[in-house]
A and B are shown apart, each in its own frame.
Chain A
Amino acid sequence: MEQFLLSLIAGIFIGGAAGYLGTLMLSKKMALVAGPLGHLTLPGIALALIYGFDISLGAFPFVILGIILIWLFEMKTKLPMEALTAVVFASGVAIAFLFLPIEQAETALVGDISKISFLDTLITCILCLFLFLLIKKIYFKITLINISEDLAKSEGIEVKKYNLLYLFSIAIIVALGVKVVGGLLTAALVAIPAATARNLSKNLLQFSLGGIFLGVLSSFLGILIFKTTGFPAGPLIIIVSTFFFLISLIFKKI
């Protein structure tokens, strides 16, 4: 029972933070960036599984690598973001499968939060709270930058600094997210609650709160269904989330 509670708490915190950040990423048309980043973490996850250390810890350096790649791509080339997505998506998976033990492939690909330790849960919750405060701090500034970089600059906002903090937030959420939903599904963890909230909201407050709420609710229900059915929690969370998205389409104001 206690183990289940730990999974539930960690899942809810990560889901909420991912949903919140997702709303910012969706406005910036970057929701899918978590996809290639998640895939790129797979070699790190594989290492963590082989040597028995924390998955997020293994994932983190690879997310940072991915973010540097994105940054370089934006600065140095005129190639569209999809190109990077294609390169990174595939290479992450390819490299991971060179040495990923096949019996642990499921954990790496779709996550496994069922065996999370108390310490791990505690650290996760603290990181999520930190992330939540960080996102809250940059939310308006990034929103203005999303609307118009020129306008933001004319207001004296240091665009580079805020973009860096924003990318850093993405790095943390991806590293945490792989614990719950694995390298394959992290994009969905941030993108779907935000998309659902977008469909249902009229203003920024509803949108951001909606992202948090739907992220929390999806994780909560997903992990609950995992408890009763025994199917892996990661995919269940995403399926619940997708279900809410489909419902939101009915209510979407045209």
Chain B
Amino acid sequence: MSENLILKVENLNVRLENEEIIKGLSFEVKEGDVLTILGPNGAGKTVLLKTLLGILPYQGEIKWQKKVKIGYVPQRLPFIKDTPMSVEEFFELKEASKKGIKETLNSVGFEESFLNKNIGELSSGQFQRILVAWALINNPDVLLFDEPTTGIDIGGEETIYTLLTKLKEKRNLTILLVTHDLSVVFKFSNFVICLNKCPICQGIPKEVLSLETLHKLYGEEVKFYEHHKH
């Protein structure tokens, strides 16, 4: 693997319960890339992330850079409210130092006092930030992010994307992000993979995302416009 390559995927096939979810996918990720994975619901985007994490069985090749550390931000955690838990305790589930927890919490814009809050009391924006912080503890090289909710206010004027941009600079992160929001792809990423079970296209967003590829990806009814407010 060449030196600044952080991930190489070759001819990846994922079958779950006899259904083909991902078929013949190959791509590379370089250090510092922000790669978006774009596709309609059920296209296999989340499955791809989980496969890259090593959670799901697959055929083909997934090669991470040696000793790479990966942080994972799941889409949502519906069961977390079944257990009463403070923010601090949520972080303690991951073996991390107190200092590390505080630092990471600060880096996503929370005060230390936030640690005593109950997880159940958080707004969805706050919770998303906590999830990002959770993934960032122990300083990962790569962040795998499953479908950040667009448009939710995570505090002040900040969106999850301005936060991610800041964190990326500061921590020298490589980011792989699942989304179905085109504006995110254009504004945020330097590489996109369009996935609808089979890979439809990949490359620099402005070059590969034509109306034609989007039709192929989403079906004919899609209209091509960029969101401006977020």
Q: Which residues of B contact A198 (CB under 8 A)?
A: 84
Determine if A151 and B83 form an interchain contact, defined as CB atoms under 8 angstroms apart.
Answer: no
| Distance in angstroms between the alpha carbons of A202 and B55 in the assembled complex | 32
Does A150 reach chain B (CB closer than 8 Å)?
yes
Q: Which residues of B contact A151 (CB under 8 A)?
A: 72, 74, 77
- Chain B interface size band reads 20 to 34
- Chain A residue at minimum C-beta to C-beta distance from B73: A151
User: In the complex where A140-B92, A204-B89, A205-B89 touch, is A150 in contact with B50 (Cβ < 8 A)?
Assistant: yes
User: In the complex where A153-B53, A203-B118 touch, is A147 in contact with B83 (Cβ < 8 A)?
Assistant: yes
B70, B74, B79, B84 interface centre (most CB from chain A within 10 Å): B84
Does B80 reach chain A (CB closer than 8 Å)?
yes
Interface of A: prevailing SS? helix
Does B82 reach chain A (CB closer than 8 Å)?
yes
| Distance in angstroms between the alpha carbons of A150 and B84 in the assembled complex | 20
Interface string of A196-233 (1 = CB under 8 A from B): 00100111111100000000000000000000000000
Interface of B: prevailing SS? mixed
Does A77 reach chain B (CB closer than 8 Å)?
no
Q: Which residues of A contact B80 (CB under 8 A)?
A: 147-148
List B residues 29-61 near A (Cβ within 8 Å).
50, 53-55
User: Nearest Cβ in chain B — how far from A160, in angstroms?
Assistant: 13
User: In the complex where A146-B79, A148-B77, A154-B53 touch, is A206 in contact with B72 (Cβ < 8 A)?
Assistant: no
Determine if B83 and A143 form an interchain contact, defined as CB atoms under 8 angstroms apart.
Answer: yes
Determine if A204 and B55 form an interchain contact, defined as CB atoms under 8 angstroms apart.
Answer: no
| Distance in angstroms between the alpha carbons of A99 and B94 in the assembled complex | 51
Does B107 reach chain A (CB closer than 8 Å)?
no
User: Nearest Cβ in chain B — how far from A166, in angstroms?
Assistant: 15
Interface string of A110-152 (1 = CB under 8 A from B): 0000000000000000000000000000001101101110110
**Interface residues in chain B, defined as those with a beta carbon under 8 Å from any beta carbon in chain A:** 50, 53-55, 70, 72, 74, 77, 79-80, 82-86, 89, 92-94, 118
